[in-house]
Amino acid sequence: MDPKKQNAILAEALRLIAERCPRLRKTCYWAGASAISIEETHHRQSFDLDFHTSKALVDVRPLLTEIQQAFPNRFEVLTVPDEYGSGFKGVLVLSNEERVTIEVLSNYQDVPAGELVDSKLVPGMKRINLPRFLADKIQCIAERSEARDLVDFTAILRHDPELS
């Protein structure tokens, strides 16, 4: 799929979630490569939206309920929350039948406010900042070292060499 079209689909899903899911918007920030790629580096196509809680150990089951109520019969749960409500994954079907994977995870520690910035795309939505994303990528590389993590790492350092 054309990267611009894919980004437009993700942007539409993000706008809808921010608009219809105020609890998620308040509790979580937009994380992952889609946040950085769409708003800053424009280095690769992303296919999903990741949301992480700003506070540690938040039970995300109420957020799943909120999404299901905001999008009746349009959100298919792929991974149910565990007994602690630490995360879930699903597919949101947009009105044009495009499908967007959504993952919501509870953080294991509080995220300092300075590591989050306002989304340029969706007012009222926070997103991960570049230094925090870089730190997360370094951790991913140490744990799993997938090609996409190396692509992200390189793109970040090219976009903002002062982070090296």
Question: What pLDDT, in 10s, does the model give residues 85-116?
Answer: 999 999 999 988 999 999 999 999 999 999 99
- Alpha carbon distance 3, 68 (integer Å): 28
For residue 3, is pLDDT > 90? no
Say what the pLDDT of residue 81 is.
96
Which one is predicted more confidently, 32 or 159?
32
**What are 50's strand-pairing partners?**
31, 103
At residue 120, the pLDDT reads 92
Mean of per-residue pLDDT scores for the chain: 88
- CA–CA separation, 52 and 38 (whole Å): 17
Cα–Cα distance measured from residue 87 to residue 49, given in angstroms and rounded to the nearest whole number: 13
Highest mean pLDDT among 75-79, 134-138, 140-144: 75-79
Mean pLDDT of 27-54: 86
Which CA distances in Å does 125 have to 15, 67, 117, 118, 120? Answer: 9, 16, 9, 6, 9
User: Quick one: residue 145, left, alpha or beta (phi over 0 = left, psi -120 to 50 = alpha)?
Assistant: left
Q: What is the residue whose two structure tokens read 């967007």?
A: 100
Residue predicted with more confidence, 44 or 13: 13
Question: According to the model, what pLDDT value does residue 138 have?
Answer: 72
Domains of the chain and any CATH numbers = 3-163 (3.10.450.620)
Q: Which of 108-112, 119-123, 133-137 has the lowest mean pLDDT?
A: 133-137
